[in-house]
Amino acid sequence: MEILAFGVQSDEKPLIEKAFEALHEVRCLDVFLNRDTAPIAAGYEIVSTSVNADLGAQVLQTLAAGGTQMIAQRSTGFNNIDLEVAERLALRVARVSHYSPYAVAEFAWTLAMAVNRRIIRAASRTRDFDFRLDGLLGRDMHGRTVGVLGTGKIGEAFTRIAHGFGMKLLGWDVARNPACVELGMEYVDKERLFAEADLISLHVPLLPSTRHLIDEAALTAMKDDAILVNSSRGGLIDSAALVTELRAGRFLGVGLDVYEAEAGLFFLDKSLEGIDDDTLARLVTFPNVVVTSHQAYYTEDAVGQIIDATVTNVTDYLARRHSENVLVPRK
């Protein structure tokens, strides 16, 4: 059987091909699955997709009409998939329920320290042989307060690093993580976390209840010199409200690895044509903002685990086995 994989990065392709070589053939495409590319999947029973795939009703209908029966998404998040339509069309959908939490947690800290210590500006200056320190003043993390929104596996890993820095730990989640409590984390309501945290990092899934969790009110409640980091899902932050606050001169720094309208932009080269998203275009111009292209998960370890889980999901589908990765079972 040949499997069709959409949205495969050049670094991923040899890893995917090697993982599947003993089991099935795999055809890797660098284009992302959307309304325009969905017809390519005609005749493929199994399709693998990336996190930025459009798996709305129209795309799912095209896949089903072309003979697709199983979708293996290579990510944990699945807010891009219309699960009700998939179930109605009898499409089995599986995801990767977990992979290295350290990849994302470490990258979140990379963003935090990059904006805190002005690394991008400093590196740009020294390339021009400008070795001044003006405007590069950062601050110690030791002794300051971190607010962690979402304390699952990634939030816990982020918290352990914060504990290593010697920070006061505040957390917010629907359930307490005993490991975080053991580290000294105090669980508080969002309002107190926003008001007291010097650094706020987001590690919650994107659900209807968490969309724009960081809205105008939340941003207003934060300290003027706070650092805000999002390596989870772009829709957690109201980007337009964030631009308004940044234009008012607020926040020591903002690190964003995700953006709420990133589909059709992230993972693609737009350097020659530019973009028509005024909000994103404005965000990248602020000197205290660092934007990266959804790369927090992108380590050899995490990508390897994602691919291994995808192979397992395909094998389970063919063997008619169920697992925790299955979002929509085959009827």
Which distant-in-sequence residues (6+ apart) come within 8 Å of 90 by Cβ?
Answer: 64, 69, 330, 331
- Pairwise CA distance, residues 256 & 237, whole Å: 10
262 is catalytic: yes
Q: Which of 74, 118, 233, 250 is catalytic?
A: 233
Q: Which amino acid is at 209?
A: S
Backbone angles phi, psi at 231, to 5 degrees: -120, 20
Task: Retrieve residue 256's tokens.
Answer: 């964003």
The catalytic position among 156, 196, 260, 262 is: 262
- What is the rounded distance in angstroms from the CA atom of residue 107 to the CA atom of residue 265? 20
Three-state SS annotation for 166-220: CCEEEEECCCCCHHHHHCCCEECCHHHHHHHCCEEEECCCCCCCCCCCECHHHHH
Is 294 a known active-site residue?
A: yes
- Measuring CA to CA, which residue among 237, 309, 246 is closest to residue 74? 309
Nearest-10 crossing angle of helices 153-165, 101-116: 40
Can you count the helices (H) and strands (E) in the chain? 12, 13
Q: Which residues contact 86 (CB under 8 A, 6 or more apart)?
A: 55, 60, 71, 93, 327, 328
Determine the residue type at 253: G
Strands 253-256 and 227-230 come out as parallel
SS (H, E, C) 112-167: HHHHHCCHHHHHHHHHCCCCCCCCCCCCCCCCCEEEEECCCHHHHHHHHHHHHHCC
For residue 169, what are the β-bridge partners? 146
Task: Please list the active-site residues.
Answer: 233, 262, 294
